[in-house]
Amino acid sequence: MLVSAKVRDFMAASLITLSPDMEIMQAISILLKNRISGAPVQDSMDNLVGILSEKDCLKVALEAGYNDSRGGKVSDYMTKNVTTVNADDSIIDIAKMFVETPLKRLPVIEDNRLVGQISRRDALKAIDTLL
């Protein structure tokens, strides 16, 4: 039943993560190579410190076009204020969140650790599977 479906049942658990100290062009290459639209950013202690999206990466192009600069660290471009969800949250609540915000993906936290990511597509798969 859809109401009882949990994030943990539909989230992606095997994630590509980035480091805040990684060069932004390397991070962009990783996103493109893996055909993903964003990735969580973790520090050396595996704490979630941000998320890097395609939209964040477009800032690199703007800076290159306007300022003739093309570089920097992931931490210079990532979104630092990250909305997260819990692995035991309801898929219905997450679907509502996706409808009410422009967010396309949400890091999933359990015991203060990053355990996965849930996307709009994952929520749709839950609906497709359970209805």
pLDDT tens-digit profile of 18-59? Answer: 999 999 999 999 999 999 989 999 998 888 999 999 999 998
What phi-psi label fits residue 37: left (phi over 0), alpha (psi between -120 and 50 degrees) or beta?
alpha
| pLDDT band (50, 70, 90) for residue 68 | low
| pLDDT band (50, 70, 90) for residue 1 | low
Neighbours of 13 (CB within 10 A): 10
Residue 119 reports pLDDT greater than 90: yes
What is the CATH classification number for the domain harbouring 30? 3.10.580.10
Question: Of 1-5, 59-63, 77-81, 104-108, which gets the smallest average pLDDT?
Answer: 1-5
Q: Over 73-115, what HEC string results?
A: EHHHHCECCCCCEECCCEHHHHHHHHHHCCCCEEEEEECCEEE
Domain of 32?
2-130
3-class DSSP assignment, residue 39: strand
Q: How many domains does the chain have?
A: 1
pLDDT at 61: 82
Closest residue by Cα to residue 25 from 50, 52, 51, 43: 52
Q: Encode 35-65: b = buried (16+ Cβ within 10 Å), e = exposed.
A: ebebbbbbeeeeebbbbbbeebbeebeebee
Q: Encode 89-116: b = buried (16+ Cβ within 10 Å), e = exposed.
A: bbbeebbebbeeeeeebbbbbeeeebbb
pLDDT at 80: 94
Between 67 and 1, whose confidence is greater? 67
